[in-house]
Amino acid sequence: MNSTKKRPHDEVANDHNDATPSSSSYSSSSSTPLQDIPTTQHYAVSYMHRSTVTHSCISLRHGYVLTGSVDGVVKFWKRSATSAAASAAATTTNSSSKETSPPSRCLEFVKSYISHVGPLASLVSSSPDGNSAASVGFADGTIKFYDVASFDVSGMIRTDYRLGKAAVLLEREEGMLLVSVRAWSREELREREKTRRLGKDNNDDNDDGPNPKQVEDESPPPGSILFFSSTTLSSKPLRIVSYHAAPVTSMAYHSQRHWVVSGDVSGVLEVWNVSSSAAAAATTSSDGTNVDHPFQSKMDTDLYALMKKKTYAIDIAMSESYNPSDGAHYGVFAVYSTDRKIRLFSLPNCKLLCIYDERMKVYDGLFASKSKAMGMDAIEYGNRAALEREMEDAHLLSGGVMMNPTTKQTVCTVTSQSEGSHHQSLRMTFDNTGRYLLLPTIVGMKVINVRTHAVVATVGKGDASSLRFLHVGLCPGDAKVDQQLQLARMGGSSAAISHKTYDGNAPPNDSLIIALAYGKRRFYAFSHHDPLLEEEHGAQQSRDVLNEPPDASDLLEASHLGRSDNDYDSTYAKLTTATTAILRTTHGDITIKLFPKETPKTIQNFIGHAQSGYYDNVIFHRIIPGFMIQTGDPLGDGTGGESIWGGEFEDEIRRELRHDRPFTVSMANAGPNTNGSQFFITTVPTPWLDNKHTVFGRVTGGMEVVMAIEGVKTDDLDRPLTEVKILSVDVS
């Protein structure tokens, strides 16, 4: 056995062969070894979901990125030319043109699906080309297949299984999804035990008839791997592989050799063949003796390394490159384990090549020694260390499972009601050459040369102070762009299209890194173009696209981006300049004229809640005939609601805005400066409310709807007996 190298790759190595461009290294596919890996310190653009983004996958062949969030939504994004590459292409295409191309957003939104009820367990694209994709529901047990080229749902399977996070999708004659079975949660175990005891109590000797037959749990045990067909869409798995006795936490697929590397919570790593004959044998043999393994005996490998250290894998990344110098004839695979170490194994002999140490004690030592690699003060490092501890509390670094050391019983620590960040997971990846490993860390995303074991770059280092990147995906090469369409967008050109060739001065390509961050409802795209280092005007604000309604955290972040009182950008201005709101209620529409100049903060709060969906399905909880109708409380009893900043905010009482007429829209409060989310609409003049409540609007349409709501019968506490809801709020 070769000696194992231990290298806490915290110092950024000065690997000139990797980081320095060389004119002799340009080829038709790649200009430099790092040509397909953006190494910028800041992300180029970010896009939003309505909830925390938990998953992403990439289709290399078709140039699509798929993202999934904790609310079960899957979105399709099409790659587009980045700013640097687009400008270079425009210059090459029409050198006489003096116009510059518009700034690129790297990705274009295509379509979204509400695919699952509740969080996603997994979202994967097919290997190796990404012609299809699949999403797995955490709570609903549903599998959905997608045809990436047509960005459409191609099929769905409803199951009764507890489907886990580990999944791979194979491109074969018959599309095959391999998905793990997760462990029972505590709630599920209690319900299961309750059902078992109830059945036992009913099975007594005093029954007149025969004893009822006990219903057996027919679901496969945790540790099983289920095979589902995307062609037949059968709800019953085609095969069940039982190599593991404990829940499987991660899997990776070698498409050339049809090998699967899987790891479970007990620390066991298995490498097995997924071909039809091998898979069939696996259903009857759990020891692997009849399966075409890449090695003769597991005792000759280092696959027991995790079990010896009492740790287990939470992510496995596969590289299929050929490297005979270190015995990795069919590539390598990296295993991220719960002890915060990344172990690199060779294929096919499964020998341990190197260990990368990402434990916090390593960074503590670096910070204590004032290493230049850290580049942060004590306060910033303390904040990052606290965030790492928060991630541990969210069970993100344990793969969402926990084993009782006494009973050896494994419990799923994540439920469908858990916070969005609890459904996130760490994900590393290799580049298309298999030479570099992209690893999310506390200081950014490290790019590691797996042959020299040196860190050649750290991506996102400038944004790592505010974002903890977790999930990394790479889109190498140029985006597939319709050049005629691009010319049309630029105003047209009569020059013939000329395809760019690579030479010593070749421009950067359209490669992207797609990254997810802890607890964020955004995902981040890194390109070779760094908008902050190039000091573009408004780059800090414009790179965060508000493609979804902002919530309180988005508004708070926007207010801290260095804007002066007279320097609002268009996105921020929409929150304080909208003049009309339409309440879509169950009784009809109510049109409200808003007063953004007189009450800017109240309007900002109202519009922020309206655009985020805060008021959707909120009832009118208090109706007093001859006085007013009140709403805006998500609890529905008059005791709830808060501002978009959290808590309460101050009054904005103006002398010219008074309660001197009916159909006045005003903020409800519990005293001075206690405004939250509740508001009311008067049905008569109410001058006694002047100087006590903030008037921020007047009803200009739908007065009859207001009067109809006022006429709803109520109880002694002014609560309507018939529910009246706000369905949605439109602002303009």
Catalytic residue ranges: 622, 627, 630, 669, 680, 689, 693
d(CA 389, CA 257): 39
Q: How far apart are the first and last CA of the chain?
A: 69
Residue 571 CA to residue 561 CA, distance in Å, equals 13
Residues 6+ apart with CB under 8 A from 271: 259, 260, 261, 293, 294, 295, 303, 347, 350
Is residue 334 within 8 A of residue 316, CB to CB? The reply is yes
Q: Go through the chain and tell me how many residues it has.
A: 732
Residue 353 has phi, psi (to 5 degrees) of -95, -40
Residue 253 to residues 124, 189, 514, Cα–Cα distance (Å): 12, 32, 21
Token look-up 């915060």 returns 340
Contacts of 289 (CB under 8 A, 6+ apart): none
Phi, then psi, of 477 in degrees rounded to 5:
75, -175
**Cα 660 to chain centroid, rounded:** 50
CA–CA gap between residue 640 and residue 661 (Å, rounded): 28
SS3 assignment, position 512 = strand
Residue 639: DSSP 8-state: S
Number of neighbours of residue 668 by Cβ within 10 angstroms: 21
SS3 for 163-198 is EEEEEEEECCCCCEEEEEECCCEHHHHHHHHHHHHH
Chain centre to alpha carbon of residue 501:
36
What is the distance between the alpha carbons of residues 305 and 720, in angstroms, rounded to a whole number?
65
Count CB-CB contacts under 10 A for residue 407: 8
